[in-house]
Structure 1
Amino acid sequence: MRPALRRLFLTALRTDAEAGLADGRWTTRCLHCRTRLSTRADGTPEGHASLEHVVPQAWFGRRAAATLTLQVGDEPDDPRNLALACARCNQDKGKGPDARGPTDARAHEVVARLLATRLARWRDDAEAG
């Protein structure tokens, strides 16, 4: 795994109030289904853990997504926009809401709900273990 991707995993974990580091492993819950996920201490995912861009990268710069992107800044890799998800949930979101785009009311609603969940789980990186 590329070091840059491992750093994004670590950023998502360190800023997730539900994530914890113990015995050389980070554990948290899937943003969607709450399945337990883990990575090694260096951010290398284990099992089905995947990196979720809550507001899809393709939605940045699109007027219909402005209310969402304003909550996470100008960059898709902003820590507020990163979370861990199980691969199945992440793929389902990618094929469904992400692909339909921000002009689809249901897609916008799903992403807004996930973003609210992510922001509710926010912790400052300095507080992380």
Structure 2
Amino acid sequence: MRVVLRRRLLQAVRTDALARLDDGVWRTRCLHCRRALALSEDGAAIGSASLEHVVPSAWFGRRAAAALTARVGEDADDPRNLALACMRCNHGKGASHDARGPGDARAHEVVASLLDARLARWRDDDAPC
């Protein structure tokens, strides 16, 4: 697994208020369906855990997504925009809502709701786990 991906997975889990480190394994829930997910302490995904860009990377720089992207600092890889999702949910979102783009009202609504959920689960990276 690439070092950059591991680093981003760790950023997502360390800033997730639901995540707990237990015996060298990070445990949390999918942002979408709340399925149990796990990462090793060094950031390797275990099972179906995957990195979710809540606001799709392709939406950055698009006028229709400006209000959403501003909430995460205008950078697709900002930790506020990174979350853990199960592969099924992550790939499903990518094939449907992400692909329709920010101009699609339903896609915009789904992404805004997921971003609200991510920000509600926000924890400072240096807070106790």
TM-score per shorter chain, which class? over 0.9
Across the aligned residues of Structure 1 and Structure 2, the Cα RMSD in angstroms comes to 0.6
Structure 2 spans left out of the alignment, 5+ residues: none
Aligned pairs (5 A) from 1:97-108: 97-108=97-108
Counterparts of 1:26 and 1:116, CA distance in 2: 22
Aligned to 1:59: 59
* More displaced 10-residue stretch of structure 1: 119-128 or 48-57: 119-128
Q: CA offsets, 1:62-101, max 9 Å, x none?
A: 0000110010012100000000000000000000000000
Letter in 2 for 1:55: V
> Percent identity of the aligned residues?
67
- Give the SS at the match of 1:96: helix
Aligned pairs (5 A) from 1:40-119: 40-119=40-119
Aligned to 1:122: 122
Q: CA offsets, 1:27-48, max 9 Å, x none?
A: 0000000000001000100000
8 Å CA contact 1:10–1:42 kept in 2: the answer is: yes
- Give the SS at the match of 2:126: helix
- Give the SS at the match of 2:75: coil
1:30 lines up with 2:69 in the alignment: no
- Give the SS at the match of 1:27: strand
Counterparts of 1:2 and 1:97, CA distance in 2: 27
Structure 1 spans left out of the alignment, 5+ residues: none
> Would you say how many aligned residue pairs link Structure 1 and Structure 2?
129
Closer, same or farther in 2 for the Cα pair 1:6/1:128, shift >3 Å? farther
Greater than 4 Å deviation, 4+ residue runs:
none
8 Å CA contact 1:15–1:128 kept in 2: the answer is: no
Counterparts of 1:89 and 1:17, CA distance in 2: 20
Letter in 1 for 2:5: L
Tell me how far 1:128 sits from its aligned partner. Answer: 4.0
